[in-house]
Amino acid sequence: MRHFRLIIPALWLVSLVPCADALAGPAKPGGPSASAPFVVVIDPGHGGRDAGSRGALLLEKDFTLRAAGMLAALLARRSEVKAILTREADTEMTAVQRASVANYNAAALFLTLHADASWRPGARGPAIMVAAPRRPPRVAGEAAQAVAFRWQRSQNIHLASNRRFALSLQRRFAAIRAGERPPIHILAVRNLEGVRMPAAYVSLGVISTPEDEARLSETGEEDPYLTAIARAVLKFAGLTEDLPPKPPVPVEDAPAESSRAPESPRQPESSETETKPPESSQAPEASEHPATPETGVAPPESPQSGADAPVTQNAAPAGEGR
C-alpha cells in the first residue's frame, strides 16, 4: 500500500506539467535574429597617448584598431550578430569609458583585443584572460546590501560563461598550430572591471617577438585567428559557425571605364587608315618614271627612292646648263 501512495501523488504532479507550461505564456525565441541580434562589443586596446606595447615597427594601439575592424567586418556577415567598437580612431579611452559602451548597448559579450610584450625572447602565440573571482572592497559605513549589489554587478556572476567562452576559443587557437595550446589566465584584469556581461581579454600575439610581429603586421580579414574568434562568438551566441564569403565590393565606375578604354586605341587606327590611301597613291606616280634618261638605271621599288627619283631627274638638266 505504501508503494501505491507514492505513485498516485507522482502521477498527479505529472498531470500538472502541461498546465504549468500554459501559465508560463508563449515561448521565447530560440536565438538571435536579424531583428534581435546578438550584440558583441569589441574593444581595441590602448589608443591616443597610450601606445601600448611596441615592436620594432608596429605599435599595439594601431594593430588592435585594425584587427578589431576586421573582426567586426567578419561578424557583420551574419545578420544575427551586431558588432560595436569602443573606438574607431586613435583616441584615448579609460577603462570606465570602454565598459560604459558595452553596458549602454546591453551587450551580450565583451572582447578586448591586445598584443602583449614579453621579456622572454622565445615568447610567442596568443593568450586568453578572464576576470578572477574576488570580493569587492567594502567602504566604511557601507551597508551589506550595497556590497552584495556590487558583487552581483561585477564579473563574479559570469565566471562560468567566461570560462566556457575561453575554452572554446582555446580549442580553436590550438587547431591553427598543432601542439601549441594558448594559456588561459584567470587574473584581476582592469579592462574587464565594470563590465556587466561575459567578457574576455584576448591577446593575439607577442608584439615584442620578431616572428609574431611579422605575423601581426600581415593580419588580414581572413586571418585564421580572427576567424577563430568570430566562430567562437557565433558558438557562444548559439548560432551556427558558418561565415558567408566576403561580399564583392560594388564598383559603379567600372563599366564606364571599360567602355572608354577601347575607344582610345581605335582613334589612331582610324587615322592611320585614312592616311594610307595618299601614300599608296604616290607609289604609282613614282612608277611612271622607271629610269633616268642618261643612265637608264631603274630606281629601287621602295616608296622613298621613288619619291627621290624626280628630284635627281630635275637636277640633271641643271648640271647640263652649267
- How confident is the model over 169-228, as pLDDT tens digits? 999 999 998 878 999 999 888 889 889 999 999 999 999 999 999 999 999 989 999 999
Q: Which of 273, 274, 298, 297 is nearest to 286 (CA)?
A: 298
Q: Which secondary structure element, helix H or strand E, spans residue 72, and what is its range? A: helix 60-75
Rounded distance between C-alpha atoms, residue 109 and residue 226, angstroms: 16
How many other CB atoms are found less than 10 A from the CB of residue 53?
Answer: 22
Average of per-residue pLDDT across 63-67 = 97
The string of pLDDT tens digits covering residues 264-322 is 555 555 444 444 554 544 544 544 454 444 445 555 554 444 444 444 444 444 444 43
pLDDT of residue 121: 81
Among the residues of 237-262, which ranges form H helices? 254-260
Phi, psi of 25 (to 5 degrees): 90, -170
Check if the beta carbon of residue 197 is closer than 8 Å to that of residue 102: yes
- pLDDT band of 120, cuts 50, 70, 90: confident
The string of pLDDT tens digits covering residues 129-179 is 999 877 666 667 767 666 666 655 678 889 999 999 999 999 999 999 887
pLDDT of residue 14: 36
* Total count of residues recorded for the chain: 322
How far lies 38's CA from each of 41, 164, 241, 282, in Å?
Answer: 10, 17, 14, 82
In the chain, what percentage of residues exceed pLDDT 90? 52
Rounded distance between C-alpha atoms, residue 155 and residue 187, angstroms: 11
- pLDDT band of 247, cuts 50, 70, 90: confident
Q: Is 106 left (phi over 0), alpha (psi -120 to 50) or beta?
A: left
Rounded distance between C-alpha atoms, residue 64 and residue 89, angstroms: 11
Check if the beta carbon of residue 130 is closer than 8 Å to that of residue 162: yes
Average of per-residue pLDDT across 10-27 = 37
C-alpha cell at 2: 505504501
Q: Which of 239-243, 250-254, 272-276, 296-300 has the highest mean pLDDT?
A: 239-243
Given a cut of 50, whether residue 17 has pLDDT beyond it is: no
Report CA Rg, the chain: 40
Rounded distance between C-alpha atoms, residue 145 and residue 207, angstroms: 44
- pLDDT band of 25, cuts 50, 70, 90: very low
Rounded distance between C-alpha atoms, residue 225 and residue 204, angstroms: 7
Check if the beta carbon of residue 80 is closer than 8 Å to that of residue 33: yes
pLDDT of residue 216: 96
Q: Which fold has domain 35-136+144-236?
A: Aminopeptidase (3.40.630)
How many other CB atoms are found less than 10 A from the CB of residue 176?
Answer: 15
C-alpha cell at 167: 575554452
Mean pLDDT computed over every residue of the chain? 77
pLDDT of residue 60: 97
